[in-house]
Chains A and B, each alone.
Chain A
Amino acid sequence: KAGVTQTPRYLIKTRGQQVTLSCSPISGHRSVSWYQQTPGQGLQFLFEYFSETQRNKGNFPGRFSGRQFSNSRSEMNVSTLELGDSALYLCASSFSQGDTQYFGPGTRLTVL
């Protein structure tokens, strides 16, 4: 079974731009979570989607948003990029809420 895939793998943007990241979960998994990883803050939860509904959101500004499609694929969007948004963005999928989460390779975002 194929693992979690994320596109693109690397992205360079400038301040003020917006970006959309994509995540395809493991086949059959309906829950998708997004995390931000930085050296200073570690792994921080962004939001979680289950059956196209956002079930929980972390402590991030409204510039961070996401959605999930009927095939469980998910996207996250960051608008008005700031230098501090430079990070590894990880997507994780699980069969259902509370089940073991499996991570994708991440998208490395650099904001200049």
Chain B
Amino acid sequence: GQSLEQPSEVTAVEGAIVQINCTYQTSGFYGLSWYQQHDGGAPTFLSYNALDGLEETGRFSSFLSRSDSYGYLLLQELQMKDSASYFCAVMNTGFQKLVFGTGTRLLVSP
């Protein structure tokens, strides 16, 4: 099976940089995805890493190390609107379902 671990909560101030880590255990790995979810809203796709290294999309970057079964989401120039829950997810071996981490609640303060 698969399991993913994330910190439950991270706090930061506007303009700062924050890193949200994700470690996973899986019998078959096809990539790590990140989703953002605001309270009361639906998960929104942020990024996907299939290979090792850093993927950058504007203020957000995502990193993957397959040898360490580890990835992170880096958020730069934090804004109040970035306050949300962030989930990492892996696709299972049969390409049939996403297995989500427990989620990290990010609180951005002024």
Please state if B44 and A103 are interface contacts (CB–CB under 8 Å): yes
Q: Is A112 an interface residue (CB 8 A)?
A: no
Docked pose: A104 CA to B41 CA in angstroms:
9
B97 CB within 8 Å of chain A:
yes
Task: Note all chain B residues with C-beta closer than 8 A to A90.
Answer: 42-43
Q: Does A15 contact B (CB under 8 A)?
A: no
Question: Considering only CB atoms and an 8 Å cut-off, how many residues of chain B contact the other chain?
Answer: 20
Q: Which A residues touch B99, using CB under 8 A? A: 45
- Count class of interface residues, chain A: 20 to 34
Do the beta carbons of B41 and A105 come within 8 Å of each other?
A: yes
Binding site for B on A (CB under 8 A): 33, 35, 42-43, 45, 48, 55-56, 58, 90, 92, 97-98, 100-106
28 contacts between A and B (CB under 8 A): A33-B97, A35-B98, A42-B100, A42-B102, A43-B43, A43-B87, A43-B98, A43-B103, A45-B97, A55-B94, A56-B94, A56-B96, A58-B97, A90-B42, A92-B98, A97-B95, A97-B96, A100-B33, A100-B45, A100-B48, A102-B45, A103-B35, A103-B42, A103-B43, A103-B45, A104-B42, A105-B41, A105-B42
